[in-house]
Structure 1
Amino acid sequence: MTTTQVAPPTSWTETAYDWFQRSKRKREEIPKDPSSSAWSFFRSGSGISFMDAAFRRHTPTLPVIHLTGDVAKTWTLLSLAARFVVQTRPSQFTTTTTDILPQVLWLDSHQQVTASKLAHVVRSTLLRHIQTAMADAHDEQLFNQDLQDCCERIHLARAATDWVPLLECWRHQLAAFDSHPTLILWDGFLEDDEDVVRTEIVRQLSRLLEQCSVVLVTASSSPRNLEWDRFITQRVRLQRNAVTGGHEYLATVQASQIPFSISASGILS
């Protein structure tokens, strides 16, 4: 009987040049301005674990995420908006390569978001991001400027708005620049619109996705819309966690269940 000789495992060594090139690539991935930080937000992480899992799914286009379930959808959108403007605020960079800073466009079909709630979530997110208390007048002034900058870049459209002309207007405005993606959030997506209006909304959104650099996150408790399904790159289902003693909620992304909690300042995961 013959025996098969197993070759010993080969050792792997990294040359100094290879190490330098690998380190250089990592340094290049660090955002250097608001524009690169906006791209990094959807590539490297928003800080919300279940949304990051949805963003990381390989797709040739920018992600289109749909949130379903009966809990936490509005809080997820609030947290996304706050984290996006905080991570792209210009004061943390030495250079700003664009005059138009990354923006958040929020369509609110439920009218559940107030200016005070939005400002509170942005403020709490900003405090967590800088991880330091404001000790003197200069720091407090800078913090207030950052807070104002972040809140001014979140644009809210209410339910009474006619969505179709609004989307068409946004499409023409956003097509003028593509140096960074714009985050569009829609709470109560297609829930109270008539069928004819839904068809036109889907048509306008398809043009927006085709012509502009946007990341779209929609949230709805209504049944699936067949016209819109083909544009969705990932679905996230939010529900209460039946297991006690841990996080209160679960997010299902494909086959993975990711626990998370909600505080007065947004999503904790």
Structure 2
Amino acid sequence: MPMMNPDASEGDKRRNTMTWAEVVEDFPQLAGARPSWNYLDRGIQQMYDYGKNPGFDVNRDFNPDLNYVPQPQDFPGNSASPGWFITPEAQTSRDVYKSLTDEFGKVDVFIDLHHQGLYYVDGTSDEVTLSLSGNFVPDPSSPEGAKYAQYADKYNYDFSRQLNVAAYDALQSVGNSIFNNITLYSQGLDLPGTALGSYALNGSGTVLFEVTGQTQSFGQKKKGQLVKAVERGLTGIIDAVADDSVYGLDPEAYEDIPLTAYQPAD
């Protein structure tokens, strides 16, 4: 799915273009509920006036229960809680995911492409090309993830780590700094309202690509290099899954990928 939030892309913003009234029109049971926490209808963010064009952060509208129906008691929610499938973008992703599950029994791999600001490879002054991650909710078998215990038999964190290692290794094999400056995105997250968190709990191996360039302006050459970096990482995953070599990768190698730093090293 090449673009999950066309409204935001067109408007150079994070949120889609949708009002709470439109949500209530689709789900009348929410008439008395407070708008969800990820809805913005006031103020200016990233130079965009949400007071004139409100919208939702679509990437917080997912729920591990793929058959969930919005209930007023679940609003406004928060970033550590599941979402609701109230936006057409999240509904579309969910519906495609469910149809693939019906056809194949399981969605083996889910990859989510995003953009991030300027960060550095930990311990260096090298600017990050892209960050990877397979960690979005705590393991349901752990004390921290006990609230997700019903998904314990599906969740496969080691496979997610192997997929990330496949991407990392493919990028490291290219002798070019822009392909080598790869880091791990923030770890220890608990975000079931993301597509990555919800689909991981449903048994998919997950990979996040956070590509630099959310807040920066690059020339055509740099943009082309970033695209090639994503292509290289994706190809590494596809090849490793296609020939089953992904299962021979050490999931612990994931922990050796450098972390993201917010400030360059002195």
What TM-score do the two structures reach when normalised by structure 1?
0.26
What TM-score do the two structures reach when normalised by structure 2?
0.26
Q: Which of the two has higher C-alpha Rg?
A: 1
More strand by share: 1
